[in-house]
Structure 1
Amino acid sequence: MRAWQLAWLLARRFRGKRERSGFVSFISASSTLGIALGCMVFITGLSVMNGFEEVLQKRFLSLVPQVEFSAVKGQLKDPQGIIDLALAHPQVASARAVIRSQALIQQGTEFVGVQLEGIATEQPHAIADYMPAATWQQLQQQPRGVVLGSQLAARLGVQTGDKLALMVAQQGSFKQPKRQALTVVGTFTFGGQVDHQYAYVDLTTAQALMGFSEGAQAVELAVTDIFAVQQIATQLGYQIDDYVYLDHWMRSQGHLYRDIQLVRLVMYLVLVLVLAVACFNIVSTLVMTVQEKQRHIGILRTMGLRRVRIMQVFIWQGLQNGVLGISLGVLAGIVLTSSLPYVLQWFQQLTGDTLLASDVYFVTSIPVQLQGIDIALVALVALLMSGLATLYPAWQASRTDIVKAISAT
Structure 2
Amino acid sequence: MSVLFSLARRFRKSRTRSGYLSFISSSSIGGIALGCAVLITALSMMNGFGDVLQHRLLRLVPQVSFEAVDGQLDDWQSLVAVAEQDPQVTAAMPSIEMTAMAQQQQQFYGMQIQGLDPQRANAVMGLSDYVDADTWQRFQQLPNSIIVGAGLAESLNLQAGDTLTLMVAKQGQQAFKAPQRQHLTVAGIFRFGGQIDHQQGYVSLATAQQLAGLGQQVSRIQLAVTDVFAAPSIARRVGNTLPEFVYIKHWMQTQGHLYRDIQLVRSVIYLVLILVMAVACFNIVSTLVMTVQEKRASIAILKTMGLKDRQVRRVFMLQGLLNGCWGTAIGIVAGAILALSLPVLLQWAEQLWGFHVLSDDVYFVSEIPSRWQWQDSLLVAVVALLMSLLATIYPAQRAAKVAPAQALHEKG
Letter in 2 for 1:128: S
* SS of residue in 2 equivalent to 1:18: coil
Residue number in structure 2 paired with 1:44: 41
Structure 1 residues 174 and 273, CA gap change in structure 2 (3 angstroms): farther
Instruction: Select between 230-239 and 164-173 the one with higher mean Cα deviation.
Output: 164-173
Instruction: Select between 338-347 and 144-153 the one with higher mean Cα deviation.
Output: 338-347
Residue number in structure 2 paired with 1:313: 315
Residue number in structure 2 paired with 1:391: 393
Aligned pair partner of 2:374 in 372, 375, 385: 372
Alignment of 1:9-408 (within 5 A): 9-123=6-120, 124=122, 125-171=125-171, 175-408=177-410
Assess if the C-alpha contact under 8 Å between 2:83 and 2:242 holds in 1: no
Assess if the C-alpha contact under 8 Å between 2:74 and 2:216 holds in 1: no
Assess if the C-alpha contact under 8 Å between 1:168 and 1:174 holds in 2: no
Q: What is the deviation of 1:240?
A: 2.0
Please list the CA deviations of residues 244-265 of structure 1 after superposition, one character each: whole Å capped at 9, or x if unmatched.
Answer: 1110011111111010000000
Please list the CA deviations of residues 179-224 of structure 1 after superposition, one character each: whole Å capped at 9, or x if unmatched.
Answer: 1010111100011111101001111111111112212110011111
Q: What is the deviation of 1:17?
A: 4.2
Please list the CA deviations of residues 89-145 of structure 1 after superposition, one character each: whole Å capped at 9, or x if unmatched.
Answer: 111111010011000011122210010011100122411100001101100000000
Letter in 1 for 2:150: S
Q: What is the deviation of 1:227?
A: 1.8
The separation in 2 between residues aligned to 1:170 and 1:237, in whole angstroms, is 27
Q: What is the deviation of 1:176?
A: 3.2
Instruction: Select between 115-124 and 16-25 the one with higher mean Cα deviation.
Output: 16-25
Q: What is the deviation of 1:408?
A: 1.5
- Give the number of equivalent residue pairs: 406
Please list the CA deviations of residues 50-108 of structure 1 after superposition, one character each: whole Å capped at 9, or x if unmatched.
Answer: 00001100110111111110112221021111111111011111101001100001112
The separation in 1 between residues aligned to 2:233 and 2:177, in whole angstroms, is 38
Letter in 1 for 2:82: L
Assess if the C-alpha contact under 8 Å between 2:115 and 2:205 holds in 1: yes
Assess if the C-alpha contact under 8 Å between 2:35 and 2:277 holds in 1: yes
Q: What is the deviation of 1:174?
A: 6.5
Gaps of 5+ in 2: none
Letter in 2 for 1:139: F
Matched, 1:7 2:7: no
The separation in 2 between residues aligned to 1:168 and 1:75, in whole angstroms, is 17
Letter in 1 for 2:7: L
Using the aligned pairs only, state the percent identity: 53
Instruction: Select between 172-181 and 329-338 the one with higher mean Cα deviation.
Output: 172-181
Assess if the C-alpha contact under 8 Å between 2:170 and 2:211 holds in 1: no
TM-score, normalized by length of structure 2? 0.97
Please list the CA deviations of residues 231-288 of structure 1 after superposition, one character each: whole Å capped at 9, or x if unmatched.
Answer: 1111122222323111001111111101000000000000100110000000000000
Q: What is the deviation of 1:159?
A: 1.1
* SS of residue in 2 equivalent to 1:408: helix
Superposed CA RMSD in Å reads 1.1
Letter in 2 for 1:267: I
The separation in 2 between residues aligned to 1:313 and 1:283, in whole angstroms, is 14
Gaps of 5+ in 1: none
The separation in 2 between residues aligned to 1:9 and 1:244, in whole angstroms, is 73
Q: What is the deviation of 1:49?
A: 0.2
Q: What is the deviation of 1:230?
A: 1.6
Structure 1 residues 46 and 225, CA gap change in structure 2 (3 angstroms): same
The separation in 2 between residues aligned to 1:226 and 1:147, in whole angstroms, is 26
